[in-house]
Amino acid sequence: MNIFSETIEEEKAKCYSVVKHKINGKKISLNFIANLFDGYSPSQIMSVYNNSYRYTGVNQKIGIICAHSYSTCINDFKLFCSSFMKNYDDNILTIHTMPDATFDIDWSIEQALNIQAVHAMAPNAKILLVQATDTTYYNLNEAIKYAIKDGCNIISIGWGFPDDGNNNPSNTIFNNPKIIFLAASGDNEKPSWPSLCKNVISVGGTKLKIIEEQIYEEGWYSEKPGVCGSGTSISEPINYIQKRFLPKFTNRTTPDVSMIADPQNGFPVVNTLYDKTVPIKVGGTSLSTSLWAGIIALVNECLNNNNKKDISQNVLLMGLYLLTQSPNYSKFINNIQNASDKNTSTAIYDNNTGLGTPNINNLVEYLANFI
């Protein structure tokens, strides 16, 4: 039975990647020149968040759900790897294109960002890119089903729909205790689905600056000062973990966590359909979500090395929110103090950046030992 009405099927998802169009540096050659990129390199981002590659995502499979076809995807991934990573492995990336998918330039940027950011965080994790036929609820959910069936233990979603209550019937797709689902909170001032679903990790964004080796991080916004895709849902009930740790809220509030999203100093994305000569700077909560998906792969690898099963959604959320009661909170999570909104904040949580951003090496070990 099709649970989607005709009205819902006509709605289109918005991808949450944001391109910084102007890049300093002249295009002096028809060859691809990575060193003209003037944002933060993957190695800089990993250093900021303390990822020393103690774990690399071995034996993990991350599903990336996008829409539309992207003909140069594999070649662009190879070029990204040769430009910013140590090497390219033919076994890392697999692509499945759903029937009748057509090309869209914005969604090709979304796909390139997702794949390349996940790989930068967890370079040995396998990646399955599922390209949905289009951006309707039904076809994107079919893509999620494919990723589940194909054995992904982590699924990353960088797009969303408005929080209007129409999408709630499809929340059951996320009721799978063996899979961690992560979704971008969005790039405007309102929460979005599926990020607001109670069984999904909602990922917000920050603005990161590195000035003379000093790191500054604050809440990021795309359209309205002070907020990105965040807030309290009008349709989704609060999950029991937020109810325990955030008693002032009655409905699901997003995001849970955050990471770099500002495209001003964004991630270097290779998409030769958009620019054949230099990497493009891309941000948005699609970026932060992809990075967090990679972090979960590191946690699972650490668990597996100790003969433990993958972390579950409930255990992951409980572990993260329990840190709000720990005097050692800052050892694991960077609390973005100046992101706080007086109307939506607790001592640590706020409606712009959630619990904060990760100290990866420490957080991975903590979550792996939390079980």
The string of DSSP codes covering 243-309 is HHH-TT-SEEEE-SEEEE--GGG-EEE--TTT-SSSPEEEESHHHHHHHHHHHHHHHHHHHHHTT-P
Residue 81 lies in a domain: yes
Task: Return the SS3 of 116.
Answer: helix
Which one, of 131, 138, 125, lies nearest residue 95 by Cα?
Answer: 131
**CA-CA-CA-CA torsion sign (161, 165, 166, 172):** positive
Task: Return the SS3 of 208.
Answer: strand
Is the predicted pLDDT of residue 241 greater than 80, yes or no? Answer: yes
Cα–Cα distance for residue pair 253/238, rounded to 1 Å: 7
Is the predicted pLDDT of residue 91 greater than 90, yes or no? Answer: yes
Is the predicted pLDDT of residue 219 greater than 60, yes or no? Answer: yes
Is residue 260 a contact partner of residue 117, using CB atoms and an 8 Å limit?
no
pLDDT of residue 338: 53
pLDDT of residue 29: 31
Is the predicted pLDDT of residue 229 greater than 80, yes or no? Answer: no
Please tell me what DSSP assigns to residue 187.
S
Is the predicted pLDDT of residue 199 greater than 50, yes or no? Answer: yes
Provide the residue range defining the domain that includes 230.
6-370
CATH number of the structural domain spanning residue 245: 3.40.50.200
Residue 149: half-sphere exposure toward Cβ, Cα within 13 Å: 8
Main-chain phi, psi angles of 13, to 5 degrees: -75, 150
Residue 1 lies in a domain: no
pLDDT tens-digit profile of 18-50? 886 433 333 323 344 555 567 899 999 999 999
pLDDT tens-digit profile of 294-320? 999 999 999 999 999 999 999 999 999
pLDDT tens-digit profile of 259-292? 999 998 889 999 999 988 888 999 999 999 999 9
Assigned token pair, 247 = 């008693």
Structural domains counted in the chain: 1
Measured CA distances, 243 to 13, 202, 237 (Å): 29, 16, 10
pLDDT (mean) for 346-350: 75
Residue 68 lies in a domain: yes
Q: Specify the higher pLDDT residue, 3 or 115.
A: 115
Residue 231 lies in a domain: yes
Angle value at C-alpha 101, between 95 and 105, nearest 5 degrees: 85
Assigned token pair, 208 = 């990161």
Is residue 309 a contact partner of residue 288, using CB atoms and an 8 Å limit?
no
pLDDT (mean) for 254-263: 94
Please tell me what DSSP assigns to residue 325.
G
Is the predicted pLDDT of residue 215 greater than 60, yes or no? Answer: yes
Asked, as a colleague might, if the bond just before 255 is cis with ω within 30 of 0, I would say yes
Say which amino acid occupies 368: A
* Residue ranges of E strands in the chain: 14-15, 18-20, 61-67, 93-97, 126-132, 154-157, 159-162, 180-184, 192-193, 201-211, 214-219, 231-237, 251-254, 257-260, 267-269, 280-283, 333-334, 357-358
Main-chain phi, psi angles of 183, to 5 degrees: -140, 145
Task: Return the SS3 of 204.
Answer: strand
Assigned token pair, 139 = 């076809």
Is the predicted pLDDT of residue 59 greater than 50, yes or no? Answer: yes
Is the predicted pLDDT of residue 348 greater than 90, yes or no? Answer: no
Residue 336 lies in a domain: yes
Residue 144 lies in a domain: yes
- pLDDT-derived band of residue 220, with 50, 70 and 90 as boundaries? confident
